[in-house]
Amino acid sequence: MITLLRGRIAAVDQDVVTVDVNGVGYAVQCHLRTAVALHNATGETTLHVHTSVSADAIRLYGFTSPEELRLFRLLIAVERIGPKAALGILGRADLATMVRALRSGDAAMVATVPGIGAKTAERVVLELRDKLDGLALPGDVATPAGEAGDQAIRAAVDGLATMGFREAAARDAVKAALSDGAEPLDVTALVAAALRRLDMVAAV
């Protein structure tokens, strides 16, 4: 079972990262924030990996820290939370913020993830709130739940900047995407909509 990969990032295709380990490419599924962070990575990168083996495939899920991997494994142990939903939850906010949201019973933040309803979000909080010791770093400042939208916007702008766009242009594109009706709490949708706006500007 693969638990860790260390190598060069050969390609990033949406939420799938290809890691070149001594000439062998491993396709690793990641949440959006990780994929964006690795888009322009140079040198060696280490991913902590969860290996899922089924009758038809072997799938790898990668994370930049062992704490994220631990939370992912806790999430997929919850009824009706599969790997895709778990990645969506992890991609919603930074680790410290998400851990504090779960500990405080903030099911509303979990429910903003596409495909997760209110009842499932409440189940996640109920099952995990007492299992999260050691995941958040002491002294981290938690982001209030009411600022989830602002956090998603910041994450989208940071993601576009990581892809090589100027921050000012990225911010303008995200604002334009919001004006067009993009979901303010969905980082993936915001980035996709903003990229379309940036492509339109480049084509003019």
Q: What is the pLDDT along the chain (204 residues), one digit of tens a residue?
A: 899 999 999 999 888 999 999 999 999 999 988 988 888 788 899 999 999 998 889 999 999 999 999 999 999 999 889 999 999 999 988 888 888 889 888 898 899 888 899 999 999 999 998 888 766 544 444 444 445 566 677 777 877 777 778 888 888 888 888 877 766 667 777 788 888 888 776 654
Q: In this predicted structure, what is the pLDDT of residue 137?
A: 47
Q: Is 66-128 in the same CATH topology as 4-63?
A: no
- Supply 116's token pair: 């997760």
The C-alpha atoms of residue 166 and residue 162 are separated, in whole angstroms, by 9
Give yes or no for a contact between 104 and 93, defined as CB atoms under 8 angstroms apart.
no
The answer to whether 63 and 48 have CB atoms below 8 angstroms apart is yes
What number of helices (H) and strands (E) belong to the chain? 9, 5
Fold type of domain 4-63: OB fold (Dihydrolipoamide Acetyltransferase, E2P) (2.40.50)
Is residue 128 a contact partner of residue 103, using CB atoms and an 8 Å limit?
no
**Any long-range contacts for 196-201 (C-beta under 8 Å, 24+ apart)?**
197/173, 198/160, 198/165, 198/169, 198/170, 198/173, 201/169, 201/173
Question: Given this model, what pLDDT does residue 130 score?
Answer: 83
pLDDT score, position 138: 44
Task: Specify which residues 7 forms β-bridges with.
Answer: 45
What b/e readout covers 176-197, taking b as 16+ CB neighbours within 10 angstroms?
A: bbbeeebbbbbbbbbbebbbeb
Give the domain ranges of the chain: 4-63, 66-128, 146-203
pTM of this prediction? 0.68
Fold for domain 66-128?
Answer: DNA polymerase; domain 1 (1.10.150)
